[in-house]
């Protein structure tokens, strides 16, 4: 009678795991690439209350403020003061870059000027006021950029306001130059 | 002199440990991954240095596209056992004389950002799933026109309805880099019209250029 062969060669208990590891890492790579770790952030923004009476606006001194007009082609027109009469002060053009024509330099310079002004109270000296006036031709990015500059330069008091009529003229005139 | 015998080592390694690590990582990424919901409106958001995380609830996001279309997104959350989105749709439907079925309401709860005027909303919800994304991307956006009548501004009504359902609601604006300022200003005016003076702007994080010094 023929004998049944049992276990002539014992098969090794080891399994080749290479394909399993391959698959594992392939899936790891896939999930790593598709996972979004960079979550967007939020920047808080408080607009001036329209229903409030405007008396407290008078408390702001011209020598404490700088007005920044945002206009088309990423240009900024800025001048010192509140912008009630822009013809009194010299308007300058700046851009959003870090260079010598950058708005940051102008803001920081004005901040130093305000904090060194002997005619202001210590409280006023600490709080330079920036009036941000985006005109109808500027882009949303410009507004966010200038708000970001406020954060970078550590300016606490700023407001987004509309352009006055003399300022609209000013914008039109500086374009012609 | 005696010869040194070098034993041939086997080339197979024990891959169990490596395999363990691979699958551990795999499990981690699988559990943490949250697939992005479909975005009918492409918004390229500007960057800033603020690092405050987007709140995970009580948030309504007004999306403004580069083409001037305005979409609205709100959280899928429930207040007193009622889904906020469905409740808002119900109230808006009553105001604009559109009746929505319970199926449409529960569907609306999960669709993400939408930019449909009230007149198109029912059509959007009746589309089969595979056609909906393409249809949603072509919609003209939530009506924000305020030139004629405040009562016809649907965005105003959406926000006020949402605030009525959820008094803790915060509003965020997610604008595209290239959107024109008048569009944004109009949205801000709509918010200020109902005394929402505090809101947030959704941005990407960027490094502070002055921090190096």
Q: CA B35 to CA B46: how far, in whole Å? A: 22
Give the Cβ contact number of residue B125 at 10 Å. Answer: 19
Q: Which domains occur in chain A, in start order?
A: 61-176 (3.30.420)
Looking at per-residue pLDDT, the higher value among B94 and A117 belongs to B94
Is the CB of residue A135 less than 8 Å from the CB of residue A71? yes
pLDDT for A59 equals: 61
Q: What is the pLDDT of residue A128?
A: 81
Q: How far apart are CA A139 and CA B176, in angstroms?
A: 9
Q: Provide the whole-model pTM.
A: 0.75
Evaluate if residue A87 carries a pLDDT over 70: no
Quick: pLDDT tens for A1-49: 555 655 556 666 777 778 888 888 888 888 888 776 667 788 888 887 7
* Residue B24 sits at the chain A interface (C-beta within 8 Å): no
Residue A140: is its pLDDT beyond 80?
yes
Question: According to the model, what pLDDT value does residue A56 have?
Answer: 53
Q: Which of A27, A139, A145 sits opposite B180 (nearest CB)?
A: A139
Q: In the prediction, which pLDDT does B110 show?
A: 77
pLDDT band at A157 (very low <50, low <70, confident <90, very high): confident
Q: Which of B48, B51, B181 comes nearest A134 by C-beta?
A: B181
Please give the full DSSP string across A59-115, using - where no structure is assigned. GS-GGGEEEEEEETTTEEEEEES-SS-TTSS--EEEBSSSSTTBHHHHHHHHHHHHH
Residues of B within 8 A of A51 (CB-CB) are 195
Note whether A50 contacts B: Cβ–Cβ < 8 A: yes
Q: Is the pLDDT of residue A83 over 80?
A: no
pLDDT confidence of residue A38: 62
Q: Spell out the residues 6+ positions from residue B95 whose beta carbon is closer than 8 angstroms to its own.
A: B157, B161
Rounded CA gap, B159 and B157, in Å? 5
pLDDT surpassing 60 at residue A54: no
SS (H, E, C) chain B: CCCCCCCCCCCCCCCHHHHHHHHHHHHHHHHHCCCCCCCCCCCCCCEECCCCECCCCCEEEEEECCCCCEEEEECCCEECCEEHHHHHHHHHHHHCCCCCCHHHHHHHCCCCCECCCHHHHHHHHHCCHHHHHHHHHHCCCCCCCCCCCHHHCHHHHHHHHHHHHCCCCEEEEEECCCCEHHHHHHHHHHHHHCCCCEEEEEEEECCCCCCCC
Q: Cβ contact (<8 Å) for B181 and A148? A: no
Task: Give the residue extent of every domain in chain B.
Answer: 47-205
Half-sphere exposure at residue A85, Cβ-oriented, CA atoms within 13 angstroms:
2
Query: By the 8 A CB rule, do B88 and B162 touch?
Result: yes
Residue of A nearest to B65 (CA): A140
Q: What value does the mean pLDDT take over residues A64-71?
A: 83
At residue A152 the predicted structure's pLDDT band, cuts being 50, 70 and 90, is: confident
Largest Cα–Cα distance of chain B, in whole Å?
107
Task: Give the pLDDT mean for A92-103.
Answer: 76
pLDDT recorded at residue A36: 65
Share of chain A above pLDDT 90, in %: 0
Nearest to B179 among A136, A140, A152 (CB): A140
Question: Does A77 have pLDDT greater than 60?
Answer: yes
Query: Who wins on pLDDT, B58 or A91?
Result: B58
A90, pLDDT greater than 80: no
Backbone φ, ψ for residue A31 (5° rounding): -70, -35
Asked if B198 reaches chain A (Cβ–Cβ under 8 Å), the answer is yes
Residue A69's pLDDT band (cuts 50, 70, 90): confident
Tell me the pLDDT of chain A averaged across its residues.
Answer: 76
pLDDT for A109: 81
Q: Do A140 and B184 touch (CB under 8 A)?
A: yes
User: What secondary structure letter does DSSP report for A160?
Assistant: E
- How many Å apart are CA B190 and CA B205, to the nearest integer? 27
pLDDT on residue A86: 59
Which parts of chain B have pLDDT scores under 70? 1-2, 35-38, 146-148, 150-151, 211-213
Residue A8 is encoded by which pair of tokens? 């002539």
Q: For this complex, say whether ipTM is above 0.90.
A: no
Half-sphere exposure of A94 toward its Cβ, with a 13 Å CA cutoff?
A: 23
């Amino acid at each position: 009678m023929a004998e049944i062969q049992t276990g002539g060669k014992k098969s090794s208990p080891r399994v080749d795991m290479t394909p399993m590891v391959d698959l594992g890492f392939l899936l790891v790579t896939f999930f790593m690439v598709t996972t979004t770790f960079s979550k967007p952030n939020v920047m808080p923004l408080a607009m001036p209350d329209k229903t409030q009476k405007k008396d407290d606006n008078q408390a702001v001194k011209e020598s404490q403020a700088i007005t920044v007009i945002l206009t088309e082609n990423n240009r900024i027109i800025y001048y010192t003061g509140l912008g009630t009469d822009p013809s009194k002060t010299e308007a300058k053009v700046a851009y959003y870059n870090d260079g010598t024509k950058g708005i940051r330099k102008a803001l920081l310079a004005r901040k130093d000027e305000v904090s060194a002004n002997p005619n202001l109270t210590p409280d006023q000296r600490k709080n330079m006021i920036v009036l941000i006036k985006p005109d109808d031709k500027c882009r949303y990015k410009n507004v966010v950029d200038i708000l970001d500059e406020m954060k970078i330069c550590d300016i606490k008091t700023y407001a987004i306001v509309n352009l006055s009529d003399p300022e609209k003229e000013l914008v039109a005139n500086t374009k012609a130059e | 002199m005696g010869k040194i015998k070098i034993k041939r080592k086997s080339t197979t390694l024990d891959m169990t440990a490596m395999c363990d690590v691979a699958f551990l990582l795999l499990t981690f990424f699988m559990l943490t991954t949250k697939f992005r919901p479909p975005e009918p409106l492409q918004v390229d958001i500007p960057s800033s240095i603020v690092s405050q995380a987007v709140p995970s609830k009580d948030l309504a996001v007004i999306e403004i596209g580069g083409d001037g279309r305005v979409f609205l997104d709100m959280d899928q959350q429930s207040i007193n056992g009622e889904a906020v989105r469905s409740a808002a749709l119900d109230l808006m439907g009553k105001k604009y004389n559109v009746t929505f079925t319970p199926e449409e309401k529960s569907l609306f709860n999960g669709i993400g950002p939408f930019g449909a005027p009230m007149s198109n909303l029912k059509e959007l919800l009746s589309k089969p799933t595979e056609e909906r994304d393409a249809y949603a991307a072509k919609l003209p956006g939530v009506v924000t026109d305020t030139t004629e009548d405040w009562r016809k501004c649907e965005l105003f009504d959406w926000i006020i309805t949402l605030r009525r359902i959820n008094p803790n609601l915060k509003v965020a604006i997610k604008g595209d880099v290239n959107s024109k300022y008048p569009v944004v200003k109009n949205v801000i005016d709509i918010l200020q019209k109902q005394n929402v003076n505090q809101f947030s702007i959704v941005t990407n994080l960027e490094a502070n250029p002055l921090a190096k010094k």
